[in-house]
Structure 1
């Protein structure tokens, strides 16, 4: 069937109310083309020069997103795509592939432009199709942006959780090894026939050193010197296990402490048994401390995630400390700061009053702007991220500054536009700053950018109270 009929066009819901004479004009202006399954209907970057109506069959549109080829839309029977009235699309964002044998009606864009002057109802129907397409595409892209951001945060969170989890696993294995030594050590210790007074003296020294909170922070050179001193002492007393020295230094033991333990030992040749017991106890103490610290780190990360997503509160505006959200966001992006060799400078006014806002929404703002700043400094293999907060009368002002290469002056007026991005293909959808703008407007605020090479500032300002 190489012709399109009036009945076919009237059966398309969006065209059903268009007068017959306008549809007849539409039919006379176009042509029928067919495609077999697997054929390309159009290629990436082709000019958008035709209005296309799918009469039979189905095509899918694929594009590169996040560095991967993805299916972004499927146009089915009675679907309309391609050029539409007042559309600013110039080139196709991906390629179209026929997935079910297609019979397509196409009208050149020049004719559609002519229709805007001649046929109101036809133009109205096609504009309605365009607004629906924009709404659906925007929704899809916003979802992709959220998933893209979630993927980056998930990767960072997995990395941050992996370190303390691995430390807990290593600590548990080492602690188990120390426990396995206890039976043999117990047998050796009880054979020493030490008096209770001597045992108490060594125990008191051991517990004191293990629980000491004011141990000096030693440089690598100082620590090496102290290890050498203890190793010399051990060799002078014919003790072969020189590895004791490193652990004893970590707990601030000195040669005079070893003299004291030696004096409490009935036979000097048995001092190695006492030192092995002491070393085992100190190692176990160190492993327990490492496990505790790693567990606390996991707990802090979980708390940060909970606060970042604001899982335990509703979506209404509430009084909150903006620094909490910024710090939670920095925790979530800490892996990127470390990976990018980026220093963090916090210049917070901690006397700021609480602001009335939606914490979850603001966290999206901090995430997008800070993440963009980190990406901008990537080309420098390092840099400084500065975040400043201050009160400006009845407003709170947050400045996020990086020392990256800056945003070209000709692009600064476009960066808040939907789908505009300065990032390479696959690294962004161009919706991050659009999201920022919409959220700040919800809070009756503004977001501005000042950028020159080496200094880019995003200044976010909104009222303290939602009055």
Structure 2
């Protein structure tokens, strides 16, 4: 089908109010172009010298950003793109590719410029499209810059990384001190005349306690009582090093364990053996602390990498919705703890994957959860409940907080650009605008239900991405 009927243009909401004779003028001055799936409609850097009205099919715009191609828009049926009156665009920022067999009405820019003098209503409609496009692209650029900078997350991430890094530094210093003491300890140990079977007995006890899996977690009072028992035993045997008892309690040593080592050691050489045992226990503890802290740093780096999806393609891919939610919670963990927020996960792990851009979905979760944390922090804490389930051909994510709620009179405005209820300097009013545009780009929907003490954002994405 290569001809265009007047009814097709009249059905386009963007051209509502344009008289029939002006719509017929578009048809008379344009040409129909048919595109097969995968065919390029235009290339990056081409002159913006025509107006295109998508009658059927879909065209996606891909732009190179930071050395990677990124899908920034999808033009569907009834979309109007290309040259628009009074636009300053001279060259296309990327290439346009047909992703669904398309039929496009193409009008040369010279004709559109001439129409500005003769067809007021048509020009007015096209100018309105242009201003909307400028706003969308400007806002989209702002969201990309915020994503790359990780502005909202930098303070919390730095805090989360600083704790394990400091622990590694302390552990390494303590371990170095223990190692420096080994030569002198070795001299003392080799002078002992302990039978091999007695050495095996001490080694077996030491290995058992150092690698005990079910080591009890002691309360402060219970720990103090156990430490007193060990100190009493050491005092009875005229051993005055107070560090022995403190370290041995950490590894669940009991007075009967000291009796066992005493029986294996030639009198009065027990202090030398205990010092060797104590050195081993401290070194083991430091190694464990360093290992645990290193794993925490690795987890945080992995979370950042997954959150931004630095190593993945930037087009839509099948993904598990829960992975992004958990990465976002990890990135915001410090802020949630600071706000005294309890997180409840009601995840349906059997729901299918959705076709989406993971990095952009993470921006959705970040903005909603970040706002919820701010609201609950003002209340002195609260509960954040995240629920996922399948609703027919959609995956639904509900993020509910126990904050003060959104007043009824402003609920219709919260998705508007630059609208914010936060104090001056604390909000840009772009967060929920970003949420709405990303969700729409994924052919989904986002709804708000809010009453005092309960605010729900319900986000739905089609499983197929269409």
> Normalising to structure 1: TM-score of the pair?
0.70
Aligned equivalents of 1:351, 1:129: Cα separation in 2: 47
Partner of 1:202: 202
Query: 1:221 offset after TM fit, Å?
Result: 2.1
Q: Which digits, 9 at most, give the CA deviation of each residue in 1:377-411, with x for residues without a partner?
A: 12112111111111112211111111111111101
Q: Secondary structure at the match of 2:420?
A: coil
Partner of 1:449: 448
Q: Is the 8 A contact 2:143 2:434 kept in 1?
A: no
Partner of 1:193: 193
Partner of 1:32: none
Q: Does 1:257 align with 2:257?
A: yes
Moved over 3 A (4+): 119-149
Aligned equivalents of 2:285, 2:412: Cα separation in 1: 56
Point out where structure 1 has 5 or more consecutive residues left out of the alignment: 1-118
Query: 1:416 offset after TM fit, Å?
Result: 0.6
Q: Does 1:157 align with 2:157?
A: yes
Partner of 1:85: none
Q: How does 1:115-126 map to 2 (within 5 A)?
A: none
Aligned equivalents of 1:384, 1:136: Cα separation in 2: 39
Query: 1:145 offset after TM fit, Å?
Result: 5.2
> Normalising to structure 2: TM-score of the pair?
0.70
Between the two proteins, the alignment pairs up a number of residues equal to 348
Partner of 2:213: 213
Query: 1:466 offset after TM fit, Å?
Result: 2.4
Q: Secondary structure at the match of 2:398?
A: strand
Point out the more displaced range, 185-194 or 281-290: 185-194
Q: Which digits, 9 at most, give the CA deviation of each residue in 1:276-311, with x for residues without a partner?
A: 110110110011111111111111111111111111
The two structures, once aligned, show a CA RMSD in angstroms of 2.5
Aligned equivalents of 2:231, 2:387: Cα separation in 1: 51
Question: Structure 1 332/397 Cα, relative in aligned 2: closer, same or farther at 3 Å?
Answer: same
Question: Structure 1 205/229 Cα, relative in aligned 2: closer, same or farther at 3 Å?
Answer: same
Q: Secondary structure at the match of 1:461?
A: strand
Partner of 1:167: 167
Point out the more displaced range, 148-157 or 136-145: 136-145
Query: 1:220 offset after TM fit, Å?
Result: 2.0
Query: 1:341 offset after TM fit, Å?
Result: 1.4
Aligned equivalents of 1:455, 1:424: Cα separation in 2: 21
Aligned equivalents of 2:270, 2:125: Cα separation in 1: 92
Point out where structure 2 has 5 or more consecutive residues left out of the alignment: 1-116
Question: Structure 1 352/155 Cα, relative in aligned 2: closer, same or farther at 3 Å?
Answer: same
Aligned equivalents of 2:138, 2:461: Cα separation in 1: 29
Aligned equivalents of 2:259, 2:443: Cα separation in 1: 72
Aligned equivalents of 2:153, 2:253: Cα separation in 1: 44
Q: Secondary structure at the match of 1:243?
A: helix
Query: 1:453 offset after TM fit, Å?
Result: 1.3
Q: Is the 8 A contact 2:316 2:355 kept in 1?
A: yes
Partner of 1:321: 320
Q: Which digits, 9 at most, give the CA deviation of each residue in 1:159-201, with x for residues without a partner?
A: 1111111111111000001001101111111122111221111
Partner of 1:340: 339
Aligned equivalents of 1:447, 1:242: Cα separation in 2: 62
Q: Secondary structure at the match of 2:464?
A: coil
